[in-house]
Amino acid sequence: MTSPPAPWLSDVDPDAVDEAVTRLQAATEDGASVVIAAHIGPDGDALGAALALHHALSGRGARTLPTWGEEPLRVPAAYADLPGVDDLVAPSDIDPEAVDLLVSVDSSSASRLGALEPLLGAGVPTIVVDHHPTNTRFGTVHLVAPRAAATVVIVDELLRRLEVPLDPDIATCLYVGLVTDTGRFQHASTDRAAMELGGRLIDAGAPHEELTRRLFGTRTVGELTLLARALARLTFVPEASLVHAFVTAEDLEEAGAGMEAAEAIIDVVRTTDVAEVAVVAREAVGSRGWRVSLRSRGQVDVGRIATAFGGGGHDRASGFTGQGTYDEVLASIVAAVQEA
């Protein structure tokens, strides 16, 4: 029995899908140079989508350059063994004049491309593949599907239309993106299409048990130390139904943990039983900036709040970079939540 079309497909202009497939097919036939860009500070969805496309397109003849706009490229420990990680290319090693096509995955705005944003100004044709409702449509071709559970869901559809079979490497990359962005299939975005894709990826060779252990069942002492420090600062703001915590650059250095360890803290803080909104901020090294993660139980659209502060995301999960002291950034968030 054939499954009905996934609802998210109706979010995307069919002509845009056809154009994206045509451009990607031409790139493989012509041996074109294709930069595949995850967003800065890549999560599992961004990195998994980028590497899956890298395997698929390079296997068909394109010269693919998987990357993201930060230097040095620091791959989060949980993703260090993903197939294709060794093929990552530093942004400074990319000649803009030699790039034929840019594929942006999981970036809601041009600023999320970081050091790769100048490729847009250089006129490089750009395919935007994303599932954030706050996407600014900054590219040439837009495959933006807010109802897709993860960006890898859209990538899987592209590969299907390109007639690229799922092999263990591609399946592993896609599965990491799917299972992380759906919160192990717990988030509200999880639908039938996501569950069916997960089954197909396991059948194609994604090592479910190994990936689950690596992604969700293993933490370093430094990561646990950082979590303890954040939870020691946990504070409830009842007038905004908001709970918040933070870690400093010094905390990160002393714990020997990267920014991805701080990102995982929000998954614990958001489980509090007294607050509608959860906030975790991580101090950026060498600046007065704070990378802020927001989560909502559904009554407050934190995507809209993050967008107002120059970030973006989903209605229940979003983020932005705030300037000033922690107290100043927090005060602005509290005010925005109270007005929401």
CATH number of the domain encompassing residue 138: 3.90.1640.10
Helix, strand, or coil (residue 311) = coil
Q: What is the pLDDT of residue 264?
A: 81
Domain with 264 in it: what CATH number?
Answer: 3.10.310.30
Q: Are residue 14 and residue 119 in the same domain, yes or no?
A: yes
Same domain, yes or no: 176 and 282: no
- In this structure, the answer to whether residues 159 and 83 fall within a common structural domain is yes
- Together in a domain, 86 and 235: no
**Dist. CA 257–CA 118, nearest whole Å:** 30
**Residue 1: its pLDDT value, please?**
45
Which of these three, 162, 188, 215, is where a domain ends?
215
What the block records as the tokens of 194 is 């996501």
- The answer on 171 and 199 residing in a single domain is yes
Domain match, 203 and 244 both? no
Among positive and negative, which fits the CA dihedral 111, 89, 209, 260? Answer: negative
Residues 153, 248: one domain?
A: no
In a domain, 208, yes or no: yes
Residue 115 resides in a domain: yes
- Same domain flag for 165 and 296: no
pLDDT of residue 259: 65
> What domain range is 103 assigned to?
7-215
Integer Cα distance of 227 and 231 in angstroms: 6
Q: Flag whether 34 is in a domain.
A: yes
The per-residue pLDDT for 340 is: 80
Taking the model in full, what pTM does it have?
0.86
User: Do residue 57 and residue 161 come from a single domain?
Assistant: yes
Q: List the chain pLDDT tens, one digit each, 340 residues.
A: 456 678 899 999 999 999 999 999 999 999 999 999 999 989 999 999 999 999 999 999 999 999 999 999 989 888 999 999 999 999 999 999 999 999 999 999 998 999 999 999 999 999 999 999 889 999 999 999 999 999 999 999 999 999 999 999 999 999 999 999 998 898 888 999 999 999 999 999 999 999 999 888 888 888 899 999 999 999 999 999 999 999 998 998 888 876 667 778 998 999 999 999 999 999 987 666 899 999 999 899 999 999 899 888 888 888 898 999 999 999 999 999 999 8
- On whether residue 1 sits in a domain, the answer given is no
Task: Mark whether 98 and 202 lie in a shared domain.
Answer: yes
Q: In what order do the strands lie in the sheet with 141-144?
A: 63-68, 33-38, 101-105, 126-130, 141-144
| Cα(111)–Cα(145) distance, integer angstroms | 19
Q: How many domains does the chain have?
A: 2
Is 2 inside a domain boundary? Answer: no
Are 203 and 229 in a shared domain?
Answer: no
- Residues 298 and 211 grouped into a single domain: no
Burial of 278 (0-12, 13-18, 19+ CB in 10 A): buried
**Single residue among 194, 215, 236 that ends a domain in this structure:** 215
Number of neighbouring beta carbons within 10 Å of residue 190 = 18
**Among the three residues 169, 193, 215, which one is the final residue of a domain in this structure?**
215
In a domain, 181, yes or no: yes
- With 0-12 / 13-18 / 19 or more C-beta atoms within 10 angstroms meaning exposed / middle / buried, residue 214 is middle
- Assigned domain for 60 exists: yes
